[in-house]
Structure 1
């Protein structure tokens, strides 16, 4: 596969059912990340992963296989760390590992999803995206590029859809600003597989 084709497929999109957990990244958080002052564990993880990603990008130009291997090892460590009991009160642990299940539009470069908050443009978000059926978790630092109300066609919706619209009235679009090569490739492969599965289903339905 050529590099141009490989890059283009990162922009393929698919409507998908995902788990989503997000945290606002404030200007103060960004200043802490830049200054190296006292940070929360989440902020430190963002900073460390950002540094790892920069080094992996440089290493990839010299040894792609080694860079991929190290990226996978880093991703594995992140997954293990997410399951470790930190000793915090159980209510915090439960909240920290809770995902909002939703229908979203997914690509390897960004995400669009329904939410209950009206975010402003350029707002930074820390995202944890759970993919199914693999249950892989992808982490990314993302910037809001759009947030619009999605009730224009509410009259045409079912009662269930109207309730969903009431609970999450905004459609949020984000671009990934910081994401590892490994996790971006995971998303690209996931999108391609989902597209292939949907195409296969449509073909079978036509044949029937």
Structure 2
């Protein structure tokens, strides 16, 4: 079962644009446990993770409502939508010049992207990710498994595997991958339909 899960995570891999910050670390023993690392992360990550926690709790409450409580349910749905909009606004307000969207190849098992720094194989890293457009903050410890000059001639392309990642965060990445993949497939299908219409 574990092998099938790992294979599924590796198979469902997509290219996408996300916000990513990274820094090298000496060892896993020298950094906080993965479940506590968010406390030492950037203010934006801490904010997003707390908002995600609240949203998950709200979803659980909504699931327990009966049909007779539909009005209350609709009210809570509106509040949840408001929370999502406030989250997006907060993320944009906390934007810094150092942060920008980066094209990555990402899955539940790791990611590949191009950066200015050159890192050696086996270098351990702390990774902060903001999934777009969901505005979900993810923190992980990862290890460099591939490092080479970028094909564009600018920067270095590195591949990382997650060595410490909260399962809730891994699930968020997998959900993100499926959503982006579904959107890309819909766009391909729509573009194909438009091409067929133009041909006729």
When the two structures are superposed, what TM-score results if normalisation uses the length of structure 2? 0.62
Structure 2 counterpart of 1:196: 182
Alignment root-mean-square deviation, CA: 3.0
Could you report, residue by residue, the CA deviation over 1:73-129 in whole angstroms, capped at 9, with x for unpaired residues? Answer: xx9888249xxxxxxxxxxx987x953421110101100001011100000000001
Structure 1: 5+ residue stretches without partners: 34-42, 52-74, 82-92, 155-164
Give the Cα separation in 1 of the matches to 2:5 and 2:47.
26
8 Å CA contact 2:20–2:101 kept in 1: the answer is yes
Structure 2 counterpart of 1:110: 110
Change (3 A) 1:4 1:125: closer
State yes or no: 1:10 paired with 2:9.
yes
Structure 1 counterpart of 2:33: 47
8 Å CA contact 1:18–1:129 kept in 2: the answer is yes
Change (3 A) 1:80 1:98: farther
Across the two proteins, how many residue pairs are aligned to each other?
144
- How far apart are residue 10 of structure 1 and its match? 1.7
Structure 1 counterpart of 2:158: 172
Structure 2: 5+ residue stretches without partners: 38-44, 52-93, 195-200
8 Å CA contact 2:6–2:109 kept in 1: the answer is no
Change (3 A) 1:4 1:144: closer
Give the Cα separation in 2 of the matches to 1:183 and 1:145.
21
User: After TM superposition, where is structure 1 displaced by more than 4 Å over at least 4 residues in a row?
Assistant: 2-7, 75-78
Change (3 A) 1:23 1:7: same
